[in-house]
Structure 1
Amino acid sequence: MKTPYFTVKDIIQITGVTKRALHYYDKTDLLKPSKVEDNGYRFYDQEALGNLQTILLFKEMNFPLKDIAAMMNLSKDEQKEILREHLSTLVQRKQRLETIIDQLDEYVDGTDIVHLNVFGDSPIQSIQEQYDSEAKLVYGDTEKYQEFETNVNQLSEEEQQQVYQQFSLNMEKVFRKLAQHQDTSPASVEVQKYILEWKSCLETFMVCDAEILTCIAEVYVTDRRYAGYFAQFGDEDFLRFLYEAIMAWVKEGEPQNEKM
């Protein structure tokens, strides 16, 4: 039986590969035509067609062309061993993408960035860890921060996670209560009661004096990263309301709050 040859047009029709790709594979020696006529016409036999199909398969599996070229010189068993390793890599990548999709979905639905776990398998620190590092750089030489760090370091890693999680939940509850009173005076007894509750949450880690409370209040309204977090509790005026409520506490001091 005569060996059938396929023209470039035939190969394109059979596989869907482009003419440009075939010329590139020829130029880089990835896939040479089985024969070239004097007029320059390229022809491919069935073995070449099979090799092309393997190349296209590897390419679809996300192998670079240079790796595919090396793989084409290997035995089938050697190729399968590489594919097993590649499969493991793809499974890990799939799991990573699923995590990213889930986290993206949560972020779009309003979850604050600090609660996302996008950097789980990355050398990049989590947002919470970045905030902690930032706080240490900014406040590390203050007595209050050193007190906070001492208290936290006494806990195991698991205990720290539990404390942070509970702290976050407690803070969110306070902010939601405050948002419900956003139309009242920041200095009102009801609002100041929740500021006391907020202050008590902070004092899970350290004693908060007027200086540290003022600092936190100012960070809330000046650091734009907090805008997204606080948007889940109230409208665009909530941050200003919260700032004024904290400053009312600082201005009036403890005696007023003892009367409550």
Structure 2
Amino acid sequence: MKQVTFDDIYILGCIVAENDLYRHYHYPEMLIRYDSNFIEFKKQPSLTELKEAENYLREFHLRQGQKHVKFCFPENVQLERELVDYLNGSGYENGFLELYAIQPDQFPEVEDQPDIDIQIVTDKNFETYLDLQYKQDLEFGSKFARAKIDLAKRQFTESSIIKIIAFYKGNPAGYVDVITTDKTAEIDNLTVEESFQKKGIGSRLQKFVMDNYPDKAVILVADGEDTVREMYMKQNYQYVGFQYEVQKIEGD
């Protein structure tokens, strides 16, 4: 297994400010995407440092018309109680991410199912991919769903990002994005439409990734409080580490 860390995870956004304490990521093309507009601490801040970063990010976001504040903390570091108490008392939602990795040959065998057809997204099926993604993203609001369509169109021209779609009996049923580097293939945005779940589509999408990138470590990030992480462990993914994150929408 190639050694991987959260530094290997793709971040959509540019670093607009950096110092010894943190990196500030910003993505003006999609201001409502919290995962692209945040501060990532390089080391655990003191309470004073956290408050200073909080004021800086809040003022920066307000100038952009953004209402959220989000922070990610160093990998595999438990937060000091003083920070936890302040964040909880200030109305932040907190959670943690978990990083998983697998060598493709360790992924379980998947039974071939003629009803499932996995395709790389091209000009011919791109609109179908967009329609399916839009329907899935509507649960987060039409503004977000439309912004994700614009994002997909920008990413479609990037050679390092491959989009894959699954059909079940000819019907669009799921999709996944794969972000590649020299050593990793990152699974992102893995989605199966609700009416097609429990038919093996998610496993087939992942197996397609394993078969196409046999020499790379396949990695993904899971919500540490989501039950889907149990599925990944059953599929032989190895737990690598965790990262705490917090966010708050001003005015809530």
- Please indicate, yes or no, whether the TM-score normalized by the shorter chain is above 0.5: no
Larger radius of gyration: 1
Using structure 1 for the length normalisation, give the TM-score: 0.25
Q: Which has the higher contact order (CA 8 A, sep 6+)?
A: 2
Query: Which structure features the higher share of helix residues?
Result: 1
Query: Which structure features the higher share of strand residues?
Result: 2
